[in-house]
Structure 1
Amino acid sequence: MSDLLYRYRKTFGPGILFACTAIGVSHLVQSTRAGAEFGFMILGFVILANVLKYPFFEHGSRYANVTGTSIIDGYEKLGRKFLILYLGITLGSMFFVTAAVGFVTAGFFENLFQIDFLGIWTMVLLFAICGVILCIGKFGTLDGIIKVIGFVLIISTVTAFVLALINGPVEPNENFLPRDLWNDSGIFFLIALMGWMPTAIDLSSWNSLWTIARIKQTGFRPKLKETLTEFRIGYLVTSLMAIFFLGLGTLVFFGSGESLPNNNSMFAHKIVTMFADTIGQWSYIIIAASAFSVMFGTILAVFDGYSRSFQKIIQLLQKKESDDSRKSYVAIVCILAIGSILIIMQFGDKLKELVDFATTLSFLVAPIIAVLNHKLVIGKFLPKDTQPSVWIKGLSMCGIVFLTGFALFFIYTKFF
Structure 2
Amino acid sequence: MKSDISNKLKAFGPGILFASTCIGVSHLVQSTRAGADFGFQLVAFILLANLFKYPFFEFGSRFAAATKKNLLEGYLAEGKWVLWVYFILSLASMFTVTAAVTFVTAGMFNNLTGVTLDPAYVSGIILAICTLILALGKYSILDTLLKVIGSVLLISTLVAFFGALSKGQVTLVENFIPKNIFERDSIIFIIALMGWMPTAVDLSTWNSLWTIERMKQTGYVPKLKEILADFNFGYIVTAVLAICFLTLGAKVMYGTGIELSNNSTIFSDQVVTLYTSALGNWAYLIIATAAFSVMFSTTITVVDGFGRAMGETTRLLFFKKADAKNTYKWMMIIVSAISFLFILLLSSNLKDLVDLATTLSFVIAPVIAIINYRVITSKQIPDDYKPGKKLLLLAKSGIVFLTVFAVIYIAVYFFL
Scaled by the length of structure 1, the TM-score of the pair is: 0.98
Q: Structure 2: 5+ residue runs without aligned partners?
A: none
Contact 1:275 1:287 in 2 (8 A): yes
State the partner residue of 1:36. 36
Q: Deviations for 1:146-182, whole angstroms, at most 9, x for unmatched residues?
A: 1111111111111111011111011111221111111
Q: Which residue of 2 aligns with 1:344?
A: 343
**Corresponding residue of 1:91:** 91
Alignment of 1:223-372 (within 5 A): 223-318=223-318, 320=320, 323-326=323-326, 328-372=327-371
Alpha-carbon distance in structure 2 between the residues aligned to 1:268 and 1:119 = 12
**How far apart are the structure 1 equivalents of 2:16 and 2:342?**
29
Residues 1-38 of structure 1: per-residue CA shift (max 9 Å, x gap): 21111011100000011112110000000000000001
- The one-letter amino acid of 2:16's match is I
Cα distance in 1 for residues equivalent to 2:337 and 2:200: 22
In the superposition, relative to structure 1, how do residues 101 and 389 fare at CA in structure 2: closer, same or farther (>3 Å)? same
C-alpha distance in 1 between matches for 2:315 and 2:277: 51
Name the CA distance, whole Å, in 2 between partners of 1:409 and 1:393.
24
What is residue 135 of structure 1 aligned with on the other side? 135
Letter of the aligned partner of 1:365 in structure 2? I
Residue type at the aligned position of 1:314: T
Distance (Å, rounded) in 2 between the aligned partners of 1:144 and 1:63: 24
State the alpha-carbon separation in 2 of the partners of residues 173 and 2 from structure 1: 58
Deviation per CA, 1:225-251, whole angstroms, max 9, x where unpaired? 100011001100110000110111101
Q: 1:126 to 1:190 in 2, by over 3 A?
A: same
Say whether the 8 Å CA contact 2:103–2:120 is kept in structure 1.
no
Partner of 2:406: 407
| Distance in 2, Cα, partners of 1:399 & 1:145 | 33
Please list every run of at least 4 consecutive aligned residues from structure 1 whose deviation after the TM superposition is greater than 6 angstroms. Answer: none
Aligned-pair CA distance for 1:389: 1.5
Quote the Cα distance in structure 1 between the aligned partners of 2:138 and 2:187. Answer: 39
Shift of 1:390: 1.3
Q: How far apart are the structure 1 equivalents of 2:93 and 2:119? A: 24
Cα shift at 1:363:
0.2
Amino acid at match of 1:354: L
- Give the Cα–Cα distance (whole angstroms) in 1 for the partners of residues 319 and 79 of structure 2: 13
Aligned residue in 2 for 1:13: 13
Q: Deviations over 1:55-113 (max 9, x none)?
A: 00000000011101111111111111111111101111111100000100001011110
Q: Is 1:264–1:349's contact at 8 Å kept on the other side of the alignment?
A: no
Q: Percent identity?
A: 49
SS in 2 for 1:41: coil
- The number of aligned residues is 415
Of the structure 1 ranges 336-345 and 57-66, higher mean CA displacement relative to structure 2 is found in 336-345
Structure 1 SS opposite 2:39: helix
Query: Comparing 178-187 with 357-366, which one deviates more in the overlay?
Result: 178-187
CA contact (8 A) 1:95 1:339 kept: yes
Q: Which amino acid aligns with 1:375?
A: R
Letter in 1 for 2:38: F
8 Å Cα contact 1:138-1:304 kept in structure 2? no
Q: Which amino acid aligns with 1:344?
A: I
Amino acid of the structure 2 residue aligned with 1:18? F
Secondary structure, in 3 states, of the residue corresponding to 1:255? coil
Corresponding letter in the other structure for 1:355: V
- CA drift of 1:323 comes to 2.7
CA distance in 1, matches of 2:387, 2:322: 29
Alignment root-mean-square deviation, CA: 1.1
Partner of 2:38, secondary structure, is helix
- Residue in 2 aligned with 1:380? 379
* Paired residue type of 1:343: F
TM-score normalised by the chain length of structure 2: 0.98
- Cα deviation, 1:201-224, whole Å, max 9, x if unaligned, reads 111101110000000011100000
For 1:385, the aligned partner's letter is D
Q: For 1:330-386, what per-residue CA distance to the aligned partner results, in whole angstroms no more than 9, with x for missing partners?
A: 322221111111111111320000000000000000001100111111232212221
